[in-house]
Amino acid sequence: MPDRKKEIDKAKEEAVAENPGRRKFLGVTATVGALGMTGATGAGLMLGGSGKAEARSRGNGGNDIHVAPGELDEYYGFWSGGHSGEVRVYGVPSMREIMRIPVFNHCSASGWGMTDESKRIMGDSHRFTNGDAHHPHVSYTDGSHDGRYLFINDKANTRVARIRLDVFKTDKMVTVPNAQAIHGLRLQKAPKTGYVFANGEYIIPQPNDGRDLNDPEKYWTLWSAIDAESMEVKWQVMVDGNLDNMDADYTGKYAAATCYNSEKAITLAGKMRAERDWVVVFNIERIEAAVRNGNFRTIGDSDVPVVDGRKGSEVTRYIPVPKNPHGLNTSTDGKYFIAAGKLSPTVTMIQIDKLDDLFAGNLSDERDVVAAEPELGLGPLHTTFDGRGNAYTTLFLDSQVVKWNMDRAVRNYNGEDVDYIIQKLDVHYQPGHNHATLAESKDADGKWLFSLNKFSKDRFLPVGPLHAENDQMIDISGDEMKLVHDTPTFAEPHDAVIIRRDQITTSQIWRRDDPYFAETIEMAKKDGVNVDRDNKIIRDGNKVRVYMTSIAPNFGITEFKVKQGDEVTVVVTNLDRIEDLSHGFCLVDHGVSMEVSPQQTASITFKADKPGVFWYYCNWFCHALHMEMGGRMLVEKA
Ligand code: RUQ
Ligand code: CUA
Ligand code: CA
């Protein structure tokens, strides 16, 4: 404790000595107080600005947010569900929530985490019922979204998952070895999404098997590349410091990640000790060559090649940036990696076309790749783009979004007397990520901007101590940003991606040969059952498999008998072909529930451990006689 106080006092003195202006740099105490919203400073910041949307539905650019009943939205918005572990789908601009996709959580409605199909996909990690989903990203071809997949990280249990965007279901999940807490996640943008890149945030002993417990000098973290098709971890790179956020370029050659803990500290004060941390740049070709040439090792039980990318290595470069940077975003013109300063009021623009020279050793200093370092305001966290040369950065401490011009920032950095700040807009309150339509791709269209605000105090009807987040919609189609809508969201969107509706092609009913339930159909075949027509009960020792069809309002089997202690698998095939005609299967008093959508086969396994009569019913309203759609499981005493 005394150490920490000394550190804080020292940092305070230094901050005052170096930067008398409060906006210039934050002392440790001010930062801690404001970030934690405990100090007077924080409270003051939250109350600024009236923040009333001026016109209900029209921004000055003329964008209409009103989507009339029966009309469809122009965009799909995919919102991470934070520590709810799910992904939510919104229609933009109406901000109607259309769907929730369970990913790392378990879902009472769909049976995700309970069904045999979902357990196979989740693998061992299905024992976890929580997740922390931060960064959703849609796959690319040549820098444009191709609508095949959405990928997302799980910080809580070190996983990466893939969602199929034809059926909006999670279809792959991998636990990343040798890392702890996957945070930043981005995709290779060109020529297509071959790799999913994943930042390991926390530094740990390698291998983490009980050795070096209290020797942080021997803790390391890894940057991982996952094959987007097989979802296998292809290789990893060991780095200095830790990794926070990241992005990839538009050529497929480079990726970059922020590091806030170059100190390799284990305490908060320690992580703020150094004046500068890093942006780590990864050279993908060189990493692949190292793997090809056997220039790697493996760690512990994992056989994933680990390339050494610590300082001085050929595969990485460490660019010093102001301390504790956070967001990292690639500008949609492909020119810059933009690292947000967080504790510094600046963002650092790294010129991507200078990286070849940096890696070739043609530059005298790593900082030579910095094209500009514009000062924007307090607490810059993330940046997005409008495709017209402007960037939009969230200012956590100022509770603002700042619109600024990239070209003018560079000219200003080079000594020209031009102003680069265009507008600052109050948001409510404390924004983290922000996102403009299509702004993760080269097709950024500059229509809508979302500021994902962490605090919503006084914006919605009170609901007790836990507050909703507030995702605010801003019209950026005109010269001025204009706030048009407040969206309450539950714990806690970190990030979103918004793509045009024509970039996704969905299936309204399942295909009978879909790989999602192919293994279940294989099992049926081995039992001599054709699930497309048979209703059969197979007894196999103390295992019982009940195959039934469903056609509204009937289950193909309305009673089956098992013995106490049997392991029962119920397989339901929905033979209805009508769009929107989902059935469900819920067995009372057994914690058994699942969705069975049109033409889907779904299965769930449980123990019949109590003798008696147990009703099952369809729990997706399907027919006028939906209430009557059910049957009985008769369990004989053992
Ligand atoms: S992080 S609020 Cu998990 Cu994307 Cu920045
Ligand atoms: Cu079938 Cu409700
Ligand atoms: Ca630091």
CA dihedral 520, 526, 531, 533 (to 10 degrees): 180
Q: Which residues contact 619 (CB under 8 A, 6 or more apart)?
A: 584, 585, 586, 593
For residue 539, CA distances in Å to 137, 527, 545, 569 come to 45, 10, 7, 10
Runs of H (alpha helix) within 274-343: 284-292
Rounded distance between C-alpha atoms, residue 238 and residue 230, angstroms: 23
Q: 588 CA distance to ligand 2 centroid (A)? A: 15
pTM, two decimal places: 0.91
Take atom 2 of ligand 1 and give the residue whose Cα is closest: 432
Rounded distance between C-alpha atoms, residue 349 and residue 331, angstroms: 9
The response to whether residue 91 sits with its C-beta less than 6 Å from ligand 1 reads no
Q: Residue 44's pLDDT is what?
A: 35
| Closest ligand 1 atom to Cα of 495 | 4
pLDDT along the chain (638 residues), means of 10: 50 45 40 41 38 48 83 97 98 97 98 98 97 98 98 98 98 98 98 97 97 96 98 98 97 97 93 95 98 98 98 97 97 98 97 98 97 98 98 98 98 98 98 97 98 97 97 97 96 94 97 98 98 98 98 98 98 97 98 98 98 98 96 97
Q: 582 CA distance to ligand 2 centroid (A)? A: 7
| Closest ligand 2 atom to Cα of 629 | 1
The three-point CA angle 90-52-341 to 5° equals: 70
At 44, give phi and psi (nearest 5°).
-60, -45
Residue with tokens 């607490």: 379
Q: 110 CA distance to ligand 2 centroid (A)? A: 14
| Closest ligand 2 atom to Cα of 620 | 2
Rounded distance between C-alpha atoms, residue 423 and residue 402, angstroms: 6
Residue 562 has which token pair? Answer: 């098992």
Q: Residue 446's pLDDT is what?
A: 97
356-376 burial, b if ≥16 CB within 10 A, otherwise e? eebbeeeeeebeebbbbbbbb
Kindly report whether the peptide bond that precedes residue 515 is cis, defined as omega within 30 degrees of 0. Answer: no
Nearest-ligand number for the alpha carbon of 265: 3
Nearest-ligand number for the alpha carbon of 277: 3
Q: 618 CA distance to ligand 2 centroid (A)? A: 4
Structural contact between residues 395 and 440, judged by C-beta atoms closer than 8 angstroms: no
For residue 82, CA distances in Å to 96, 103, 493 come to 19, 11, 5
Take atom 3 of ligand 1 and give the residue whose Cα is closest: 134
Rounded distance between C-alpha atoms, residue 434 and residue 439, angstroms: 10
Q: 433 CA distance to ligand 1 centroid (A)? A: 6
Q: Residue 62's pLDDT is what?
A: 67
The response to whether residue 572 sits with its C-beta less than 6 Å from ligand 2 reads no
| Closest ligand 1 atom to Cα of 135 | 4
Q: Residue 15's pLDDT is what?
A: 42
Q: Residue 531's pLDDT is what?
A: 98
Q: Residue 43's pLDDT is what?
A: 36
Q: Residue 31's pLDDT is what?
A: 45
